[in-house]
Amino acid sequence: MSYKIAIASTNGESVDEHFGQAENFLIYEVTKDTVNFVEDRAVQAASAGTEHSEEGLVRLADNLQDCKAVFVLKIGVKASRYLYQRNIKSFQVNFSLNYIFTSMIKNEQKGRNII
C-alpha cells in the first residue's frame, strides 16, 4: 500500500512554511520501505496575511486532495479541521524531512501507520 504526503518546505530539507502561506508543497509517495519524491507542486497561497480566505482554503485543499497528510510548520484550527473533513490529516511539526521519512518508514514496518 502506498499513499502521498505533502510537505511545506522552501529548502527541501526541513518543514519551514505555514500552511496558508505556502506557494508550493513537496509531494512524496510513502510505501512500507521507501519514501520517493513525486513532484514540487505549485499552489496559490490560501492566505494574504494571517487569515485564510474561504476560497483560498478550498482551492488549496482541492490541490492536495490526492495526499493523505500535510506536514507544515504552522496551521490554524479552521484549516486543520477543513482538511480533516476532506480526509487529509495535518501535522504541525518543526522537523527535518529526513527525520519525518525515517520515522514514517519505521512505523510502517512495525505496522503502525500514523496516516
Q: Give domain status of residue 55, yes or no.
A: no
Mean pLDDT for 86-99 is 96
Q: Give domain status of residue 33, yes or no.
A: yes
Instruction: Select the more confidently predicted residue: 70 or 114.
Output: 70
What domain count does the chain have? 1
Q: Give domain status of residue 56, yes or no.
A: no
Q: Give domain status of residue 96, yes or no.
A: yes
Can you give the pTM of this predicted structure?
A: 0.92
Residue 84 belongs to domain spanning: 3-47+63-109
**DSSP single-letter state for residue 59:** H
Residue 98: CATH number of its domain = 3.30.420.130
Helical packing angle, 77-85 and 54-63, nearest 10°: 50
Q: Give domain status of residue 58, yes or no.
A: no
pLDDT tens string 34-43: 999 999 999 9
Question: Is pLDDT at 48 greater than 70 in this prediction?
Answer: no
Question: Is pLDDT at 51 greater than 70 in this prediction?
Answer: no
Q: Beta-carbon neighbour count of residue 8 at 10 Å?
A: 24
Q: Give domain status of residue 115, yes or no.
A: no
Q: Give domain status of residue 26, yes or no.
A: yes
Distances (CA, A) of 40 to 1, 78, 82, 101: 22, 25, 23, 17
Percent of the chain at pLDDT above 90?
Answer: 71
Distances (CA, A) of 66 to 73, 99, 103: 20, 23, 22
